[in-house]
Chains A and B, each alone.
Chain A
Amino acid sequence: MVSVRSEPAASPAEPKSVKIVVSGGFGVGKTTFVAAVSEITPLRTEAAMTSASVRVDDATWLPDKTTTTVAMDFGRITFDDTLRLYLFGTPGQERFGFMWDELVRGALGAVVLVDTRRLDHCYSSIDYYEARDIPFVVAVNQFDDAPLHHRDDVRYALNVADAVPMLRCDARDRESVKDVLVALLETVLKAVQDSRTSALKEDDAPPVAVAEGA
């Protein structure tokens, strides 16, 4: 961990970070998805849910009784010295909604994982991203005992726009996860290009819509 550096000041190649969020219902494969491409074993960080006095003291933190914590898993892909991608799994439960705002703020886009045995578990994720115009793709995880659904049937059941890519995915398979991420990034690219085009039309509009707060 401790590295001896020849030049202590900022190097010209500063790392930049971007973020993608991975959501879906409980046990749908979010952590597995992140692990499939992350260079680190997914790390876990917790966020406390309520206002609380927290003791920032040597190696201890003591939340008060009203505090619940929610765990998020995240992974990292370092492309080079100047670009890193962080992948965050969103907590499954809807009641952690407020955490979503913090997690999603500044994200390039989102992957919504779907288990065809429990389609309804991803409705809240889809609603969330649709309502905020956040680019997302739907990745249909094929669990072994799940009935095989035609993609159009799933799209119909989820009621997502045709423009939203929908892919079959095995979160345990690195190549499959890469495909999903590329599909998402292409959607993000298109959104950025579209917003630039419309910004040229009304030149007082903000140039990039997706990078809010990033």
Chain B
Amino acid sequence: MTSSDDGYTDHDGTLVRPYLVTGGRTRPDGRVLALETLVTTTQRGDARSDHRRFEQRHVLVACREALSIAEIAAELEVPSGVAQVLVGDLVDEGLLRIVESTDANEQVIRRLIDGVRAL
């Protein structure tokens, strides 16, 4: 993707992505990139860790181990809304994958109780 034909190019040629920052952006499949949503680098993403943009490259390397949106935002020192956009784009490119979330069933909660007690 080049920045000249994507409709987001500013008058001075830098990439600008206007969006509503109030977060909770919904994916095409209806899922939301929440702050705790985990994403991980795909095999294709692994091969693209030479991504030409610094932040994308950084995310693709960092997410070889699954990280949350919040951690990515903190790591890049950008607001969470910016991390959501960045991650969303990388998911669309097939370079990152959203890790399926869990629902809060009894078994999960029991594991959490035992886990916290054992800390």
Contact A47 B81 (CB under 8 A): yes
Report the Cα distance A164→B85, complex, angstroms.
38
Per-residue B-contact encoding for A184-211, CB less than 8 Å = 1, 0 else: 0110110011001000000000001011
A148 within 8 A of partner (CB): no
- Residues in chain A near residue B102, CB distance under 8 A: 16-18, 214
**Total of A-B residue pairs, C-beta within 8 Å:** 195
CB within 8 Å of B: which A45-99 residues: 45-59, 61, 63, 67, 69, 72, 74, 76-77, 79, 83-86, 88, 98-99
A122 within 8 A of partner (CB): no
Which residue in chain A gives the minimum CB-CB distance to B73? A45
B interface with A by C-beta (< 8 Å): 10, 14-24, 32, 34-38, 40, 43, 46, 53-55, 61-62, 64-66, 68, 70-71, 73-74, 76, 78-83, 85-86, 97, 99-106, 108-113, 115-117, 119
A interface with B by C-beta (< 8 Å): 1-3, 5, 8-10, 14-19, 37, 43-59, 61, 63, 67, 69, 72, 74, 76-77, 79, 83-86, 88, 98-99, 101-103, 105-106, 108, 174, 178, 181-182, 185-186, 188-189, 192-193, 196, 208, 210-211, 213-214
